[in-house]
Amino acid sequence: MGTLLIVGILSYLIGAIPSSLWVGKIYKKIDLRDYGSGNLGATNTFRILGWKAGLVVSAIDFMKGFTAAFWISSIAVDSIPTVYSGWETAMFVQIYAGLVAVIGHMYSVFAQFKGGKGVLTACGMLYGIEPISISLALLVFFTVLLWSRYVSLASIISCMMYPVFLLMLRYGFDYAVDGSLMVITALLVITIVVKHRSNIQRLIAGTESRISSFSPAKGRINEEKAG
């Protein structure tokens, strides 16, 4: 179990890397928590710093989850007992490592336990575990984003569709989807949707910010500070 603890610590530290905070300070010498929504995620980075910084942050946040689930988890795969007879031990450890990385992203020790909403880090985690369903969910994300230009709406809908795709693979196409992935994914989706509750309120009120353009932009550093 000591090995599992090491995996947890490493996964948390990887997930806790505050990419948007550091990119903001390096790129424009600002603290992103003071601008826009104040959220340390890719969406606020795109809005405030522009598409180049947004892409960098997106890639880093995605890789945090992927690294934890795909690589860091391998440290403990052979050293822990079976958790439940119906679940694969290897997948359980992958899920554990990925979830800890997502928690690190949401509550970063390097940013006074503030962070993003976990969508991209969760996406990277799930891609490291089972790429088919998450690829379909990403297709949904970009379709909704191009149609609506609401990043939050695209994130919420694609997250909710992911477990649907898992069910389709398992029961519609007889694809081997472990039960642990289905259970934990449902809980993860609920957590991410709850994290977006303020966005949902703004979407209903019609005050949620859209991405104004998909062309190169300079960002909106001079907009009114958060809070």
Residue 159 pLDDT exceeds 50:
yes
Q: What pLDDT score was predicted for residue 32?
A: 92
The pLDDT of 114-133, averaged and rounded, is: 92
Residue 102 pLDDT exceeds 90:
yes
Roughly what angle, to the nearest 10 degrees, separates helices 89-106 and 2-15? Answer: 40
Among 187, 162, 152, 190, smallest CA distance to 47 is for: 152
Residue 217 pLDDT exceeds 60:
no
Q: What pLDDT score was predicted for residue 186?
A: 87
Q: What pLDDT score was predicted for residue 211?
A: 75
Residue 121 pLDDT exceeds 50:
yes
Q: Which band of pLDDT confidence, cut at 50, 70 and 90, is reported for residue 216?
A: very low
The CA-based diameter of the chain, rounded to the nearest angstrom, is 56
pTM of the model: 0.84
